[in-house]
Chains A and B, each alone.
Chain A
């Protein structure tokens, strides 16, 4: 069955520290992978996406993610976290030609001043 796992429910980092949020997927075909961010009480905003080509993709707000097929992972990274990055982050996967996504359960990021 298709699935997306975000193993960390909560992560706390200090402002200026590096960040890595984990995402593992289970998918038979070549996946289309996404990271979204959600501020409290708001909708989701697309950070970045991968569907082919270079396995390291750059997104908005200084985020990047690396697709590793051998590990079925698509981890999100940021070299230096800002207080405004505190939010919930969702990984999602879709297959080619489909309209339906499978979302992970989210990772809530707290940033310490």
Chain B
């Protein structure tokens, strides 16, 4: 079945560490997105990519980095510059008609700083 796979489901980070969250899709979608979810704040866009080798900053990109070397993959790195990384991270993808067809979401990665 087609879908989006996020891994790991739970991730623990020590202070000063970089960590990378994986997102893979087999839906042949062109666009991919990373959202951060905090209680009571809804979803906030970190980065998005409409095509391979191109991506744009979202509303809260500071302290994060991404790459899009393959259509299927859009990994997110949470760097040590992100001062408050504890959150639930959601990856999504869409066809070029995201406004018409909506997003498909992965099941998320919960990142905790220890």
Contact = CB atoms under 8 A, between A and B. Distances in A.
Interface of A: 9, 32, 34, 36, 41-46, 49, 51, 90, 94-101, 103-106
Contact of B48 (A94, A95, A100, A105): A100
Contacts of A103: 35, 42-43
Contact of A100 (B41, B45, B104): B45
A96 B40 contact: no
Q: How large is the interface on B (under 10, 10 to 19, 20 to 34, 35 or more residues)?
A: 20 to 34
B42 A46 contact: no
B58 interface: yes
Given A43-B90, A43-B106, A44-B103, A105 B98 contact: no
A43 B108 CA distance: 6
Interface in B22-48: 31, 33, 35, 40-43, 45, 48
Interface SS, A side: loop
Contact of A51 (B42, B100, B105): B100
B8 to A, nearest CB: 13
B99 A105 contact: no
Nearest to B106: A43
Contacts of A32: 99-100
B50 A99 contact: yes
A67 B70 CA distance: 38
B51 to A, nearest CB: 11
Contacts of B4: 43
Given A32-B99, A44-B103, A105 B42 contact: yes
Interface string B73-96: 000000000000000001010100
Nearest to B48: A99
A51 B105 CA distance: 20
Contacts of B102: 34, 36, 46, 49
A100 B90 contact: no
Contacts of B105: 36, 43-45
A20 B90 CA distance: 26
